[in-house]
Structure 1
Amino acid sequence: MADVVALEEPPPKRAKVESPPSTANVASTFTKPSKDQAPNKSKAPTQPVTSNTDRDLEKEIKVGITEYVCPENSGFTGILKQRYTDFLVNEILPSGRVLHLKNLGDNGKTEKGNVEQKLSVSKQASNVEQNGAAVEEPPTSITQVDIESKTEQNGSKVQEKPSSARQDEAAEAEEEVKNDQDDDAAPQVSDEDLETLHSLFGEKTSSDIIGLVKAINKHPGRKARDFKPVISAPITDKDERTNAHVSLRRIFPDKIESVTEQDQCIRIRALPPRDSGRKRKRDYDDDRRGGQRGYGKLSWEELGGEYLHFTLYKENKDTMEVVGYLGSQTKVGARGFQFAGTKDRRGVTVQRVSVKRQTAQRMAHIGRTLRQSYIGDFEHHHQGLELGDLAGNEFLITLRNCHFENEGGLDSTQRVQLAKDVVSKAVKDFSEKGFINYYGLQRFGSFATSTDTVGVKLLQNNLRGAIADILLYTDTALAAANSTDIDTAILVSQDDKARAKALDIWETTKNGREALRILPRKFSAEHNIIQHLSKKGRGKDWQGALYQIPRNLRLMYVHAYQSLVWNVVAGKRWTRFGNKVVEGDLVLVHEHEAKENGISKGKADDVDQDGDVVINPADEDSAFREKDGFERARALSKEEAESGKYCVFDIVLPLPGFDVEYPPNEIGEFYKELMKSERGGGLDPHDMRRSWKELSLSGGYRKLLARPLKELSFEVKEYTNDHEQFVETDIDKLMKKKPKGQKEGGEPEVEAEKGSNGDVEMKEGDREAEIQKKLAIILKLQLGTSQYATMALRELMKAGGVKIYQPEFIGGR
C-alpha cells in the first residue's frame, strides 16, 4: 500500500500505485540486453500463492531493505490500515505547528449542518470502504461575493479627486436623496441589516446609501452615471472595509457596486441590473486571463496576495484525485494547485494547498461538492506552496490484532503488560537511535515489473525493453480475465483483469483500438503508449511512445533506480561501520559551516562600523538565502571523523548522478561495484548524463539514519469489535463528535448490566469473549520530510511485523 510520505521531491504515483505494492513476486536483478532488445513476451511468470507478508519480505530484500538499527529488540505483528481512520496524517508546518482543520467555509464559521450532511455520506462510505464506494454529495448553492479592486470596467484606475470635489459630489448625492425621500421605491432593509450599515458607515452615510438605492429603483431606465455616488468616511481597517463591501452586495444585490479609493474611502455607485450580468462575465473572463480583479472588487494585494492557501482534509482519497476535481471545477486544472507533498490514499490526511487567483468564497462553494473531503482555513499569500515546504508529518497510527512473542498461555492482563513492555523498549530505542532511512516499497511500484527495472532499461537506452516492461502482465491476471470460475486463493480485481486482457490483445494482434476499448483509462502509461504505437508509421517509435507518458511518471522510473542503489549501499554502510563515523563519510556543507569555520553563526549586525543602521533584505529578496536549491556535501578527514563533532545522524549517502560526490572510501568503491554488476544494470556512477536530457540524473543526498522529530508515544487498547474507531479525526473534533463505541477519553464504551454495585455482571459466554479480546497499539510519531512511515514501523515491529490490510483484489499483478 502506498505510504504517506512528504517528499522534497516526491515520486509521482503510477496509475495504480494506490493499491498495495506487495502483490507481485518481482525480480529486481537486472540484465544488460542489447540496445534494442525486448522480451519475447509480455507476460510475467505465474506466481505461487504466498502470503502478503512473505511477498513483502521477499520484495524488501530485493530492493535492498535488509538491516535494522536494533535487531536485538523483540518484534510484534499488527494489521496496518484495516480502517482508513487507522492512519491519520497531519502535516507539520515549517513553523513546527501541526496542521489541523479548524474552520470550514469562507467566513471562519463552522457550517455544521452542511458538514453533518457530508458526514452521513462519509459514514455510508466507511461501511463499504473495502470497495471504496461513496455517495455523491448534492451541490449546494452559495452567493458568490464580489470583492473590491482598484480598476474600472475598462481597466483604467479610479482617479483620486481633491477633497473639495468629494464634498461637491456628496452634497449633490444628498440633494438627490432628499428629492426621493417620499417615494414608494425605498428598498426593504431589515432592522438587523440597518444596524449593520450604521455600524459600518454611520447613520448619515447609511441613509444616503438607502436613498441611492431608492433612486435606482425609481428610475430603472437611467444609466449608472446618472446617479451620484455616495462617498463614505475613510475606513482604515482592511477587514472592516472587506466586511463593508460584502454587506453592501448582500443587502442590495444587483443594485450598487463599491470600490475602495486611494484615501481608504469607499465609493458606492449605481449598477443597473441590465449591465450586471455582462459585467460579471467580463470580470470572470479577466480573472481567467490572469488580468486585474474587476471593478468593485478588492485587489489581490488588499486580500493579502494572489495565492489562496487552504487546508485540505481527505478520507480514503489520493491527493491528486481531489486536486484534479478542484482543478476541473475552477477551470485551472490540477497543475494550478500546489502542495508541499503528496499524501496516501488509504488514510485520513490533512495538508495545505495553494491556488492562484481564486477567492475563498468560490473555493468554499466548490468544497461543498466534495465527497469524503473538506477544505477550509482560507488565507491569501503572496507566494504559492512548493514541494518540501513542510517540516514533516505527524502520524497517528492504529495497529490492530497485535501479537507478541511468548504470549501463549497468558491471560488478558498479562498480554497487555507484555505488549506495554515490548513496545516501550522498542519506542525508547527508536526515539534515541532512529532507523535506517530506507526508501519504502511504494517507491518501486505494484505491478508485474517494478519501476526500478523500467528505470534501468531507460538508463541503458533500451527504450523498447522499457516499454515492454511497462506493458507486462501476469498469466494469473489473464487467466482470471478469460475464466468464469472464481479462484478463492487469488482474487483479481476487475481493473486488473481488463488490463491483462487489453495488453494481451495488443501483444498478440497489435489491434490498438480494441485494446484501448478494454483498457481502463486509469492506466495512463499503458494507454498512452498503445495509442501512440498503434498509429500508422509509429510502430517502432519507442521514444515518441515514452514521451506520451506524463513527465512525472517517466522520472519516477529512473528515480526508483536511484532509490534501489541507495538502499543497497545504505545496508552495506550500516553492516560495515554501524553508527561509527569514519574517514571519507560525507556530510552536508551547509549544515556544518560553523564546525568547519570554528565559529558560530551570529546575528546580522544592526549597525555598521560608522554607526549607521543596516537594512537587511527580506529573505525572499536576499541573494544569500539559507535554503538553497542545491545541496553540497564533502568528505570528512580522519581527524574530523575522530573529533567527536560529527555523529551518525550527520552522514549522508549520494543518490547516483553526475553532480554528486561519492565517499572516498570503500563505500564509494562499492557504488562502482554495485552499479557495474548485473544487478545494477552495468552502469557507471560517474557517467550519468544521457542524450535524452531528462534521463540525465544530477543526483542528490539522503541521510543514512533518520529519527523522529520528537519522542514517540503509544497506547495499548483491548477491543472485540473490529469496526471500533480508537482516535478522533479533525472532522470528529470539529463537529464535537466522538467516535462510535467510545466515551470521553477514548476508552471503549461498555454497557453495564444494572446491579447493586454498578459493575458489569459476567453472563454466560462472557468469559469466552474475554479470552477473544484483541490488542491494538496506537502510535503517535512525527517524521521529517522524505521519511517513510512504513520503514519506521519496520524498525519498531521487525521482519514481517507490518501486515498491510488488503482492501482490494490484487492477486493478479
Structure 2
Amino acid sequence: MSSDDEDNKGIPGSYGYNGGAVNDDKDDYDSDCAGYDSYGSNGGGSGGESNNEDMGSNSDVDDDEKHSKKSIKPPTLDIWRKESDVGVTEYCGAHEGFFAIIKQRCKDFHVNEINPQGEVIHLTDESIPSLPKDKEDIIVEGRPACISEENISEIDRMFGNQSKLPKENVIHEVLIKVDGLDKRARTSVHLFIKTHYKKVITSVKLINGEKHIQVRRGITDDRWSTKNPWLKSQQYTHFVLYKENMDTIEAISKLSARLRVKPPKFNYAGIQDKRGKTSQSISLFEVSPQRLYNATKDNWAMKVGNFSFHQKPIQLGQYCGNRYRLVLRKISASDEVINKAVESFKRHGFINYYGMHRFGTSSVSNFNIGKALLQGSWSEAINLILVISKEFYGEDYFVNMALKEYHTNGNAKEALLKLNEANKSTSLQAKLLKGLSECDKDNLVGALSHLPRNRTSLYLQAYQSFIWNTIASRRIKEFGLRVLPGDLVRRRTSKSSNEKPQEYAFETVYAEDSETIADIAQEQEEAMDVDLDKQDIHMLTEEEASNTDITDILLPLPGHDILLPENEIKNWYVQMLEKDGLSLEKLKHKVKTYSVSGVYRHLLVRSSDVNHCITFYNDVDKPLVQSDKEKIKGEDIEENKLEGMPGLADGKSVESMDVDQKEKSEGANDEMNPSEDRAEGAYGSGATGAYGYGGVKFDPKKGKMKALILELTLPPLCYPSMALRELMKIDSSTQYQNILDPANAKAKLGRGRPHFRRGRRGRRSS
C-alpha cells in the first residue's frame, strides 16, 4: 500500500474505509454503535494505543470487501474518564481524606484575581469618576486682559439666537487682538474661550501682519466633532468586573452588546470560571466609566467598579495568581480529620497535575488526538475528532445526525450541509468537514488545517500533559518527595527578557466546557508559557540536591527543545515516547503546525495563605462566604453560619445520630419504662419537629450539616481541583461530583431531546 493510501485509510470516500453499519433510524442508533471500539476513551497508562486490526470490518463480508473496508471505526461516548486514565494517581500527604461536595451552589466558589503588585482584586467602589481632563479643558480663573467687554458681548450674541436679526447684523466671527503676546498668554485666551463656551472653534489669524485669535461657532452635531476628549496617557479605562454564574467570555459578550463595542477591544489577564462568583481586572479603550456602569446597573449577575485610567491595557497573563474562597459541603468527617488534612496540605502541598478538563469531555481524550497528529496518522486524527456521540439529545442530536451522514456515505459536503441547516456551521466538526469537502482526498493535512490553531495546540499540549502527569505520578510513587541529583531547577540568576508565569491552567474546579472558552484559554496559556533557554535550566549536583526544596523541581513537558533530567526519570520519558513511535527529535514535526518545543512545569506547589473554618448550616441555598457584591451592599451572611448539633463535630451524620437515638431506645419499650423516658436520648427528643430528621429533633439555631470554608492562594499555573484532590483524596472528575450531588448534576447537565413543531397532518417539522 502506498503512503498516500496509508494516510487515507479510515477516511470515508477514500480507499480502505468502513463506515460501519449506521442505521438511518435514530432509534436503532445505540445498537449500531455497540460494536465500535471506544479507542482513546480510557487513555490508559500506555497512552491509549490503537489497534487498527481489532477495529476492522465485519466478519460477514467477503474477503475482497473486507480488504477494501478495513479501517478505524469511529468511537462512541459511553465512558467515565477516571483520573488514572490521564496519569493522575498519587498524593503527597499521608493524611486521611474526607467526603465533601464541591460547588454545590454557585455561591460556594469565590475567586479574586491577584494583580502583578500582589494585591487581591475586589469590587469595593461603584462611584463614577470624571474623564481625565486635557490641558485645554482646564478652567482659567480670570479673564485675560486682551479680551475686552466688547469681545465678550459679541461672542454672546454669536452664540445667541440670531435668526431674527438682519443679515448685516449676524456675527460669524469675533476677532481678539493678541499681537505682541507670548505663546503662554495666547494659550490662556484659547482656554478661557473654550472653558466658557461650548461648540467653539478658536484659531490664530493674521490681519495686516498682526496676530488675532479668531472665535467662531463650531458644528453643533457631535457626530461631526473631531476632538478626542481622551488624553493619550490615559486612554484605557481599567475596572473591576464582578460576575456570577457566567464565564469571562460570556460577561464580555454581554458588555460588548450593551456598549456596542467589539469583544476584542476588551483586555483581561485571565479567564475566570462560570460556576462561581469572581472579581477580576478588565481594561477597555476609550469607554467612560458612566457607560460601563449604565451597561451593568440592571444586571444582578454582573457589576463594575473601581475605575481608573491608564496609558496601557491589561495584558494576557498579567497577574500573579488567584485567591480562592471555597465552601465544601455535606462533610461527614470529624473536625480532627479535617484539621489534620488541612495541616498536611499546608505542609506538603500538592502534585501540580494537569486537571481532567485539560483532556476534554468528549468520548475521545484530547491527548489521543494530539498523539495521532504528532505521529502523522492523519486519518486516525480525523476519525477521532469526528467521533459520534451516544448522547442523542439536545445540541448533540444535530451534530450526530451530520456525522452519521458522513460515516455512512462518506459525503463531507452533505454532512456539512446538515450542520449548516442546524446553525452549527461554526462548530469544530463543521470546520473539519469543510476542509474535507474542499481539499483533495489525498490532502488530509490540508483538511486538518481548517481547524483553529488554538484547538490544534490544545490537542498537542494534551498529549504533552498526559506524559507529564504519568511521569510525575511515577516519580512520586518511586521516590516520594526526595530531590534527586540530576533534577532540573531554574537558575537563580536567570532573568529572561520574556519572563512570565510559566504556564496557565484553564480550569477552576469542574469548569464548564465550551469550544470558544477552550480556544481562548489555549491562547491565554500560550501567552504565559515561559520560553526558557537551556542556559536558564540548571541540573542539580548531589550536594545541591540535599539543600533544594522539592517545590523548586521542574519537570519538562516533552518537546524538541528541552533538557531532560540526568537521572532515571530521563529513561521514563524516552520509553513513553518510544512506545508511541515518537522521540524528542520527532516532536520537531515536518508539518510546522504540529511541532512542540516543550516547556517546564513545577512538580509540586505549596499553597500560600491557607486558612480554614469549620461551620454548620441547614439551608444549602444560603451563602456561607460573603461575596464582593454582598459586602458592598452591606448584606451580612454570618447568621447563616450555625453551631453544630452535638455529635457532628465528631464526624457523626444526622442519619447516624438517628440510628444512635434508636439504639439508645431499644429495650426501653416495656412496661417498666414510660414512653416519655424512651423519647429522650443523647441528642434530644425523639419526636420529629419542624426541623426534624428521622428520630432527631433539631434546634433551628443548630446546624445539621457540616461545611468547610477554605481560603488559599494559588499561582496561575495551578488547577485548584488538583489542590482539593490532595486535601480530600477524592476523585476530581466532574462525573464523580455529579454522583455525589445528583440534583446539582441535573441542573448543570439537564438537556432534552430537540423539540419539533407539529406540521399539518401530524408530521414533524423542524
Question: Under a length normalisation based on structure 2, what TM-score does the superposition of the two structures give?
Answer: 0.67
One-letter code of the match for 1:803?
Q
Q: Following TM superposition, by how much is the alpha carbon of 1:426 offset from its aligned partner in structure 2, in angstroms?
A: 1.0
Summarize deviations over 1:474-528 as a string: whole Å, max 9, x none.
3x323xx4xxxxxxxxxxxx12333323322332243135421465549721222
Give matches, 1:264-343, under 5 Å.
272=218, 275-280=220-225, 294-295=226-227, 297-301=229-233, 304=234, 306-327=235-256, 333-343=262-272
Q: Which runs of 5+ in 1 are unaligned?
A: 1-23, 48-54, 109-144, 152-164, 180-211, 236-242, 262-266, 281-293, 405-417, 482-493, 594-626, 751-759
Distance 1:105 1:584, change over 3 A: same
Give the secondary-structure state (helix, strand or coil) at the position aligned to 1:777: strand
Contact 1:25–1:59, Cα closer than 8 Å, also in 2: no
Q: Partner of 1:226 in structure 2? A: 173
Give distance in 2, aligned partners of 1:640 and 1:653. 17
Aligned with 1:639: secondary structure? helix
On the 8 A contact 1:42/1:468 being kept in 2, the answer is: yes
2:378 pairs with 1:355: no
Change over 3 Å in CA distance of 1:513–1:521 after alignment to 2: closer
Alignment-derived partner of residue 103 in structure 1: 125
Tell me, in whole angstroms, the C-alpha distance in 2 between the residues paired with 1:428 and 1:259: 71
Checking the alignment, whether the CA contact within 8 Å between 1:499 and 1:520 is kept in structure 2 is no
Distance 1:39-1:431 versus aligned 2 partners, 3 A rule:
farther
Match of 2:356 among 430, 441, 464: 441
Distance 2:194 2:384 in 1: 58
1:81 aligned to 103, 108, 111, which one? 103
Q: Is 1:795 matched up with 2:729?
A: no
Corresponding residue for residue 553 of structure 1: 455
The root-mean-square deviation of aligned C-alpha atoms, in Å, is 4.3
Query: Residue 92 of structure 2 corresponds to which residue in structure 1?
Result: 69
Letter in 1 for 2:352: N
Indicate the SS of the match to 1:713: strand
Identify if the C-alpha distance between structure 1 residues 513 and 86 changes in structure 2 by more than 3 Å, giving closer, same or farther: same
1:373-399 CA-to-partner distances (Å, cap 9, x unmatched) read 223322232332233211111111111
What residue number does 2:664 align with? Answer: none
Where does the alignment leave 5 or more consecutive residues of structure 2 unmatched?
1-39, 53-68, 138-142, 185-190, 205-212, 496-528, 646-683, 739-743, 754-766
Determine if the alignment matches structure 1 residue 177 to structure 2 residue 75: no
Contact residue 38 and residue 468 of structure 1 kept, 8 A? no
Match of 1:690 in 2: 589
Indicate the residue corresponding to 1:477 in structure 2: 391
CA distance in 1, matches of 2:193, 2:478: 69
Q: Aligned to 2:315, which of 383, 386, 402? A: 386
Displacement of 1:464 in angstroms is 2.7
Q: CA deviation at 1:648?
A: 0.7
Letter of the 2:479 counterpart: F
Separation (CA, whole Å) in 1 of partners of 2:364 and 2:573: 24
Whole-angstrom CA distance in 1 between matches of 2:318 and 2:250: 21
Conserved? CA contact 2:123–2:279, under 8 Å: yes
Q: Report sequence identity in percent.
A: 29
Q: Are positions 1:639 and 2:540 aligned together?
A: no
Which structure has more RCO (C-alpha within 8 Å, separation ≥ 6)? 1
Corresponding letter in the other structure for 2:611: S
Question: Would the alpha carbon gap of residues 582 and 424 (structure 1) be closer, same or farther in structure 2, given more than 3 Å must change?
Answer: same
Cα distance between partner residues in 1 of 2:320 and 2:304: 21
User: How many Å separate the matches in 1 of 2:203 and 2:128?
Assistant: 21
1:775 aligns with 2:706: yes
1:429 equivalenced with 2:368 (yes/no): no
Measured against aligned partners, the alpha-carbon deviations of 1:714-758 in whole angstroms (never above 9, x if no partner) come to 22222222212111211111122235xx53x855999xxxxxxxx
Partner of 1:714: 612
Letter in 2 for 1:477: E
Counterpart of 1:668 in structure 2 is: 570
CA displacement at 1:791 relative to structure 2: 0.3
- Distance change >3 Å, CA 259–CA 107, structure 1 → 2: farther
Quick one: structure 1 residues 782 and 585, their matched pair in 2 at CA, closer, same or farther if it must change by over 3 Å?
same
Contact 1:455 1:558 (C-alpha < 8 Å) held by counterparts: yes
- Determine helix, strand or coil for the equivalent of 2:434: helix
In structure 2, distance between residues paired with 1:269 and 1:38: 86
Over 3 Å counting, the alpha-carbon distance change for 1:569 and 1:749 in structure 2 is closer
Q: Which residue of 2 aligns with 1:650?
A: 552
Aligned to 1:463: 378
Show CA shifts across 1:378-423 (max 9, x none).
223233223321111111111121223xxxxxxxxxxxxx2x2111
Task: Quote the Cα distance in structure 2 between the aligned partners of 1:553 and 1:260.
Answer: 56
CA distance, structure 1, for counterparts of residue 231 and residue 171 of structure 2? 22
Is the 1:454–1:466 contact (alpha carbons within 8 Å) kept by the matching residues of 2?
yes
- What residue identity is the alignment partner of 1:809? L
Distance 1:65 1:216, change over 3 A: same
Inter-CA distance 533–592: structure 2 relative to 1 (3 Å threshold): closer
Q: Does 1:30 align with 2:52?
A: no
Shift of 1:766: 4.0
Q: Give per-residue Cα distances to partners, 1:320-375, cap 9 Å, x unaligned.
A: 22233445566663333332222111111111122344443444444457672223
Q: Is the 8 A contact 1:258 1:296 kept in 2?
A: no
Summarize the Cα distance change of 1:582–1:257 in structure 2 as closer, same or farther, 3 Å threshold: farther
Q: Would the alpha carbon gap of residues 531 and 746 (structure 1) be closer, same or farther in structure 2, given more than 3 Å must change? A: same
Distance verdict in 2 for CA 1:810–1:684, change over 3 Å: farther
Corresponding residue SS for 2:160: helix
SS in structure 1 of the partner of residue 239 of structure 2: strand
Q: Give the total of aligned pairs.
A: 580
- Tell me the SS of whatever aligns to 1:76: coil
Measured against aligned partners, the alpha-carbon deviations of 1:139-160 in whole angstroms (never above 9, x if no partner) come to xxxxxx8975879xxxxxxxxx
One-letter code aligned to 1:397:
L
The residue identity in structure 1 corresponding to 2:748 is E
List aligned pairs for 1:742-761, cutoff 5 A: 743=639, 746-747=641-642
Shift of 1:699: 0.9
3-state SS of the aligned residue for 2:560?
A: coil
Q: What letter is aligned with 1:723?
A: D
CA distance in 2, matches of 1:516, 1:634: 52
- Is 368-377 or 421-430 further displaced after alignment? 368-377
Q: For each residue in 1:557-578, what CA deviation from the matched residue of structure 2 results, as whole angstroms up to 9, or x when unmatched?
A: 1111111111111111112222
**Are 2:239 and 2:281, in contact at CA under 8 Å, matched by a contact in 1?**
yes
Q: Is the 8 A contact 1:150 1:295 kept in 2?
A: no
Q: 1:584 is matched with which residue?
A: 486
> Counterparts of 1:372-411 in structure 2 under 5 Å?
372-404=301-333
**Residues 349 and 604 in structure 2, CA contact (< 8 A), matched pair in contact too:** yes
CA distance in 2, matches of 1:80, 1:342: 20
Look up the equivalent residue of 2:577 and give its one-letter code.
M
Secondary structure at 1:338's aligned position in 2? strand
Structure 2 counterpart of 1:503, from 403, 421, 431: 403
795-804 or 713-722: bigger deviation: 795-804
Q: Which has the larger radius of gyration?
A: 2
Give the C-alpha shift of residue 707 in structure 1: 1.0
Aligned pair in 2 of structure 1 residues 260, 765: CA closer, same or farther (>3 Å)? Answer: farther
Change over 3 Å in CA distance of 1:566–1:312 after alignment to 2: same
Q: Is the 8 A contact 1:716 1:775 kept in 2?
A: yes
Length-normalised TM-score, structure 1: 0.63
